[in-house]
Structure 1
Amino acid sequence: MQLPVSGYQTLAPPAHGGTTFFMTLQEQLRGTGVALVTPFKANGAIDWNALEKTIQHVISGGVEYVVTLGTTGETPTINSDEKLDVIKFTFEKVNKRVPVIVGIGDYSTADVVKRLETCPLEEAAAVLSVSPYYSKPTQEGIFQHYKTIAKASPKPIILYNVPARTGRNMTAATTLRLAHEVENIVAMKEASGDMVQCMQILKDRPKDFVVVSGDDAVAMPQVACGMDGLISVAANWFAKDVSDMIRAALASDYATARTLQFKLLDAFELMFAENNPGGIKAFMAIGGLLENAFRLPVVPVSDSLYKSIEAFMNK
């Protein structure tokens, strides 16, 4: 039986100060979360100063929560010890101003279970776990994977469907089966790009099951269909505009939401033209938040795209 989201009461102060209050996880995930980049120095080391600046930038911009160690954080190139350090650093610098979601996913179910048991998750609001990649499991394999990790997790699990990266779509039927049958699975980040699939999930989801978009470019119309918000890449730089757009859409103020969507549309196209996080890091490097540095096999965007991004930002 699906555990109600209201069963998780988390202490969460508002982003802009004020009185501390209790929010359900459903309330915390309504709005914009940002999938934080992991800044690197030219020598490949994690740039902790730039990560702190990024955290401050997105919170000041008004995002409702942050997600650390997601796909945008280049987690495949970060070793186990560094991941623990990133989690602890993020908790410290966020300092309970907004909720923190921790990304823990892998193609090995046993490895995910081990990390869930050993990672410092006391301050986490939930765990975002990507559908198993590379091995291309069947839908039953995906179901059993999530059922196993949900049982082991000390925190609520947010499903993450991104078939462009994993090589296997998690169908609406599998998502709904997990949502209705598996305890401790309370939300999903849906990034299949299939609007019909998204609407099937929204139509038949449990009442308190949260569905957020994982695609900046179509998040506004997805919210209009009933989604609860967005976990954004673009908000690493465009925190205020993205957050304002999603809040307007959630309030059914589509005139404002469309204006912001159209303002950001060219930025979205440039940001994802070659790869993620290459695009967003280019925006942030030009803006002075971090170095345009990566760990292989990820590389910076091409010179021509970088110049186009510079021209857009200057404009």
Structure 2
Amino acid sequence: MQLSGIIAYPVTPFHSGNGEINLAALTQSLEHLIEQGCDAIAPLGSTGESAYLSLAEWMNVAECSVQTVNKRLPVIIGISELTTSAAIVKAKYAERIGADAIMVIPVSYWKLTDEEIQAYYQAIADSTSLPIMLYNNPATSGVDMSPALIVKMASEIDNICMVKESSGDIQRMHKIFSLSQGTLPFYNGCNPLALEALCAGASGWCTAAPNLLGKHPKALFEAVRLGEMEKARQLFYRQLPLLHYIVAGGLPKTIKAGLSLVGIDTGIPRPPLKEANSEDKARLAEYMAAVQ
């Protein structure tokens, strides 16, 4: 699977009254991301509050996302599960509804060995023919996969064909490139590293930023691709204050609050997450206006 550019993360909208999933708002938010020139859609990540959804809710969001996008862009469904069996259920469902790929991150209570991590991915790969994006984000998952392990798994598990690296360490990306001799596509998942990562050869940028920043993330990607480095630097530094803010404030809270400012009501995060307060919204409005 060849994929490059901006891989955008939608939120999972909830109705304000009963807290149930709002599929109409999900459709609206997906159309909004497509309009921003994004190159793929990745529902059910941390921005989409996947960890706070029941299996039935997860399935509803996955199916609605695939149906709404309707092959206009690739849809990469996020899977993050403690148990291998639960991850396999989701992988099979993603394939059944017509997803184009899955993005898989192991989460752990007990510290996993490299052997256990590889067995987790192997079992998932054996259950589906979908391409797998391996996702490393130790801050949220409790699992830190070394570049050596990542490249080893990609060479030994056929479905693994790309990597999202979100540790915040640019050296990890350099190492993945070196160890794979440039054959394993890697994608930046750390917003403040976007410029460095793209300059280092990242195939794309996985981000929720297009929800609030419109076409500016794609413009940054294109500027780097075309070698227009001064333009790329200017674009990046205009976006950087908001990129820092949305991550520090918690993506579900900040992205949902920012979407409300552009006229898309996606409700508030599911408890125990808190909604943005008036000060948060004012700061978001300030950062968003500065980029336009």
Q: Which TM-score band (shorter chain)?
A: over 0.9
Against the structure 1 CA distance between its residues 311 and 292, is the aligned structure 2 distance closer, same or farther, given a 3 Å change threshold?
A: farther
Confirm whether residue 80 of structure 1 aligns to residue 55 of structure 2: yes
**Structure 1 equivalent of residue 251 of structure 2:** 276
Task: Look up the match of 2:79.
Answer: 104
Instruction: Indicate if the aligned counterparts of 1:44 and 1:294 stay in contact, CA closer than 8 A.
Output: no
Asked if residue 237 in structure 1 is aligned to residue 212 in structure 2, the reply is yes
Question: 1:122: how far off?
Answer: 4.7
Match of 1:40 among 8, 14, 35: 14
Distance 1:61 1:127, change over 3 A: same
Q: Is the 2:26–2:266 contact (alpha carbons within 8 Å) kept by the matching residues of 1?
A: no
Q: Does 1:63 align with 2:41?
A: no
Q: Is it true that 1:203 corresponds to 2:178 in the alignment?
A: yes
Q: How many Å apart are 1:126 and its aligned residue?
A: 0.8
Judging changes above 3 Å, is the alpha-carbon distance between structure 1 residues 314 and 126 closer, same or farther for their aligned structure 2 residues? closer
**Alignment of 1:93 onto 2:57:** no
Could you say what secondary structure the match of 2:251 adopts?
Answer: coil
Distance 1:124 1:80 in 2: 17
Tell me if the contact between 1:84 and 1:120 (Cα under 8 Å) persists in the aligned partners: no
Structure 2 counterpart SS, 1:104? strand
SS at match of 2:245: helix
Q: 1:291, 1:71 → 2: CA distance?
A: 15
Check 1:275–1:134 CA distance in 2 against 1; reply closer, same or farther (3 A cut).
Answer: farther
> Given that residues 64 and 99 in structure 1 are in contact (C-alpha distance below 8 angstroms), is that contact kept between their aligned partners in structure 2?
yes
The letter for the 1-side match of 2:5 is G
Q: Secondary structure at the match of 1:188?
A: strand
Q: Match for residue 190 of structure 1?
A: 165
Shift of 1:253: 2.0
After the TM superposition, which parts of structure 1 deviate over 4 Å for at least 4 consecutive aligned residues? none
Coordinate RMSD, CA, aligned: 1.7
Match in the other structure for 2:29: 54
CA contact (8 A) 2:132 2:160 kept: yes
Contact 2:177 2:183 in 1 (8 A): no
Q: Is the 2:166–2:189 contact (alpha carbons within 8 Å) kept by the matching residues of 1?
A: yes
Q: What is the one-letter code of the residue matched to 2:256? A: K
Q: Does 1:168 align with 2:143?
A: yes
Partner of 1:127: 102
Q: CA deviation at 1:291?
A: 3.9
| Aligned residue-pair number | 289
Matched, 1:115 2:90: yes
CA contact (8 A) 1:107 1:135 kept: no
1:117 partner amino acid: K
Q: CA deviation at 1:114?
A: 2.5
In the alignment, does 2:116 pair up with 1:138? no
**Structure 2: which 5+ residue stretches go unaligned?**
none
Percent of pairs with identical residues: 29
Cα displacement string for residues 173-194 of structure 1 (whole angstroms, at most 9, x for unaligned residues) = 1101111111111111100111
Unaligned runs of 5+ in 1: 1-24
CA deviation map 1:191-231 (0-9, x unaligned): 01111122101112265422101112212210111110111
SS at match of 1:297: coil
Provide TM-score, normalisation by structure 1. Answer: 0.86
Q: Residue type of the partner of 2:170?
A: M
Superposition TM-score, scaled by structure 2 size: 0.93
